[in-house]
Amino acid sequence: MARTEMVVAVSLLTVPKKAWLLLFAGPVLFLAGIVGASSFLGFQGIDAGQIARRVPLLMPEILLGVSASLGLLLFLALRYEAVWTLPPAPKGLRDAAFGVLAGGLLALSYVFLLSSALEFLQRAVGDYVPPGSVLPTVSASIGLFFIANVLLAPLVEETLYRGYAIPVLTRSIGKPWAVVLSCFLFGLLHWAGGLWYMALVGGLAGGVFAGLFLWRGGLLAPFVAHLTLNSIEFIFASRLA
């Protein structure tokens, strides 16, 4: 096992620098957005305690900025037609149906089961965000959340973490490790939601999306699954607005 991990570590050195820049751009943009929002509030003379309470309320704006910036970066760095190849109609309809089914199951599992488990872990084990804060935070500005999380995120994130990352990483470290690393990086993109949320998104959602991408041989199925998941999440978040 140690030898295998050593080979993988060495092989990571062959991954193009552009790939690393794109794959880590999302988490860095989130950090920049949070620091920028905190600095803006600080320049207005707001004390540190108020800043800590008000920055989470700006998360929809930060999320929109990150999604739009990452999408623009991908547009400038990639040829979308090389990543997106839509299947012929019969297969496309099947791919879309599998996507709706997978995304719906993920969404309902999260809303009715996993969100409670997530909050339990946050309270019992600890986290760096308050327990149960994910949906109330993003529902602070529901219109912006819809644009960022429903219209932009599925397209941008599936293009980057499945359509681009898995093939590029596969050429250097092989398909299994490429899937693992793409799931880790996808989870890392969601670090602002907390440690357990990051693990849940990367391990479960990222794993399902990667599985759909490899099984169906394209981005349509994971994109529809991601879109379905985020749409149902939006519906539940809007009820908290």
Taking only the tens place, the pLDDT of each residue in 115-159 is 999 999 999 999 998 888 777 777 668 888 899 999 999 999 999
Mean pLDDT, residues 105-115: 93
pLDDT value at residue 194: 92
- 9-31, pLDDT tens digit by residue? 778 888 999 999 999 999 999 99
Distance between CA atoms of residues 13 and 10, nearest Å: 6
Confidence tier at 3 by pLDDT (50, 70, 90): low
Task: Give me the domain span that covers residue 126.
Answer: 2-238
This prediction has a pTM of: 0.94
* Helix, strand, coil share of the chain (percent; to 5): 85, 0, 15
Q: How many separate domains does the chain show?
A: 1
pLDDT value at residue 2: 64
Q: Under 8 Å CB-to-CB from 122, ≥6 apart: which residues?
A: 129, 130, 131, 132, 194, 196
E-strand spans in 87-164? Answer: none
